[in-house]
Amino acid sequence: MGRVRDAVYKVNKRLTVRLAATLLAGSMLLSGLLGFFRDRLLNSAYMPNEAAGLAGYPVGLDAYTAAFTVPDFMFAILVSGALSVTFIPVFNARWVKGNKQSAWEIGSSMINFMALVTMVVSVLIIIFANQITSLIVPGFSESAHALTASMMRVIAVNPFIFAIAAVIASIQQAVGRFTFYALAPVMYNVGIIIGIFWFTQGINIFGWQVFDGGIMGVALGVVLGSFLQLIISSVGLIGLGFDYRFKLYWRNKGFRKVLQLLPARSVDQGMDYTVSLVELNLLSRMGAGVTRAYNQALTLHMMPINLIGVAISSAAFPQLSDRLGEGRQDMFQAQLRQVLRVIIWLALPTAVITFFTRGYIVHFIRNTGDPLMAGILGALVIAILFRTIYHMAARVFYAQQDTKTPLYISFVCISLNIILAIVLSMVLDMGAYGLAWAQSIVAVVEVTILFTVMNKRMPRLFNKEFLHAISRMLIATGIMAIVCYISVVMLPFREADNSFYSAFPRFLVIVAISFLVYGAMSKLLKLTEVDPIILRLRRVLFARFDVKS
């Protein structure tokens, strides 16, 4: 057991911000690729053929998509981002001062508190699944309604499992241990893929058929993935000296501080998901298949956001919190500028490439593509850029233990999002495209407001050097956009592409050419963000030719 503990501790050692961001991005890329594979399997098994069109669309995938909404909504309100941005600064304040006993008391208390609250929520979802389904998808057919409620009851256990895993993951993030924190989400998709391959065929134990299979097997895979994620997260605690107690330390000021900060961020997260509930209600009235197409376009647009915005901001957040804890406002601003520059430098070309190659990207999760899904993804490209930036911008306030300012901004922006969603999709009859444009418009507004408030609080944050760097990034992106467009015209996505391997080589060529041009322009324009990449490439490509004198 001691050897296992030592091995885990070596693997899970503290990382620099750059290494942590690289690890998290790699993990999210792997998880995203598994998500592509998962969706491709689901679409192959449950999507109608081209001849049937949406008229032949089965209820399974729409029901599967809708069944997640309320469990995810409750997890987001109670745990999710609310926990990480309120728990970590308070935990860090004890940890950096060497008060580990208080830090572990906060950790134990949060695990127990979140487990109790989410267990109650999970039970309520199971009991009232029918009523909830009637409320969120009134446009679904009777069969789709029944299947949604049944799948929701199975998936309802997720908030409870995820809550425990999230606290454990936040502890590791707070102390700079990212290895198992990064691996855990990958296992979630592994569980769902197992469900698609095996549980959909039914479960037979000693000749007794205990489960008939079908798309309900995917829901069982979701629960399996949740348990796998919890197990991997728990392994990451080995060697940290975590002293868990089944107790709520109400006298611990740090625990009370987290509970004090939690409501504002929870309401903020809840309002974000309120948009999802409104969108789902509207989508259920737009016909079979539209709910799934919109949801998958949202999933695709989240992949670059997670790879860049979430990965980098999650890695940088603990260190930024440390700087404020040490009273180093100058270092806080300098590191924040550096992180924002890297995020914007990566997000600009990624958004442009996503727009021009959206036909290819959609094809990777559904053979021959899907014009509706590709169109929605195109409308979400602006949201990709600004939501990638948003994750770091919002964490600036959380590092300052200010959860109320982002809440007020979110309240304004989410109200605007709901109004725009209804007006664009229904009044102007833009359908699902209207929902996507509402998302993009609001993403721009939210980041603009956050930056305005940040600039008032820290007048020297966006200095001339920072703004000049952003202008050079825009020039490099503009030139790359022209090259990317020409590449797509020369290597277009074709409807005859009916396999992954028929389209992927051309997609890879387009992406490679585009990024090479962007990298060259960045170097020409003296953007320092490209230097570490060039240095790494030189080491990989030319290390064998180095001759020691």
Distances (CA, A) of 441 to 310, 351, 384, 404, 431: 20, 15, 11, 23, 16
Closest among 174, 166, 318 to 233, alpha carbons compared: 166
**Residue 52 pLDDT:** 38
| Separation CA 473–CA 381 (nearest Å) | 17
Ranges 57-71, 137-151, 462-476: which has the least confidence: 57-71
Cβ atoms within 10 Å, residue 286 = 17
Q: Are strands 208-211 and 203-205 parallel, antiparallel or unpaired?
A: antiparallel
- Of 110, 90, 86, the residue nearest 99 (C-alpha): 90
Annotate 309-339 with b (16+ C-beta within 10 A) or e (fewer): bbbbbbbbbbbbbbbbbeeeeeebbebbbeb
Q: How far is it, in rounded angstroms, from Cα 106 to Cα 85?
A: 14
pLDDT band at 547 (very low <50, low <70, confident <90, very high): very low
Q: Given the structure tokens 């926990």, which residue do they identify?
A: 83
CA-based nearest residue to 527, from 477, 472, 481, 478 = 472
Residue 426 reports pLDDT greater than 60: yes
Integer Cα distance of 214 and 195 in angstroms: 10
Per the listing, tokens 């300012």 go with 405
Q: Which element (helix H / strand E) includes 204?
A: strand 203-205
Q: How confident is the model at residue 257 (pLDDT cuts 50, 70, 90)?
A: confident
Residue 487: per-residue pLDDT:
94
Are the CB atoms for 81 and 269 separated by under 8 Å?
yes
Token pair in block for residue 478:
């503009």
Q: Which helix (H) or strand (E) holds 461?
A: none
Q: Are 419 and 282 in contact (CB under 8 A)?
A: no
What per-residue confidence (pLDDT) applies to 280? 86
* Locus of tokens 């949060």: 110
| Residue with tokens 């022209």, as numbered in its chain | 482
DSSP class of residue 210 equals E
User: If you average pLDDT over each of 64-68, 129-133, 291-295, which comes out highest?
Assistant: 129-133
Dist. CA 426–CA 254, nearest whole Å: 47
Question: What pLDDT, on a 0 to 100 scale, did the predictor assign at position 381?
Answer: 94
3-state secondary structure 121-189: HHHHHHHCHHHHHHHHCCCCCHHHHHHHHHHHHHHCCHHHHHHHHHHHHHHHHHCCCCHHHHHHHHHHH
pLDDT at 548: 47
Tokens 């948009």 found at: 275
- Backbone phi and psi for residue 365, each to the nearest 5 degrees, phi listed first: -110, -5
Place of tokens 């695990």: 111
Instruction: Tell me the whole-structure pTM to 2 decimals.
Output: 0.71
354-373 tens-digit pLDDT: 999 998 888 887 776 778 88
Q: Which residue has the higher pLDDT, 8 or 24?
A: 24
Encode burial over 39-78: b for 16+ CB neighbours within 10 A, e otherwise.
bbbbbeebbeeeeeeeeebbbbbbbbbbbbbbbbbbbbbb
Please enumerate in sequence order all residues whose Cβ is within 8 A of that of 76, keeping only pairs 6 or more positions apart, or say none. Answer: 82, 269, 270, 272, 273
Place of tokens 């959609």: 362
pLDDT confidence of 11, banded at 50, 70, 90? low
- Which residues does residue 205 pair with via DSSP β-bridges, in sequence order? 208
Residue written as tokens 């908030």?
159
Cβ atoms within 10 Å, residue 247: 10
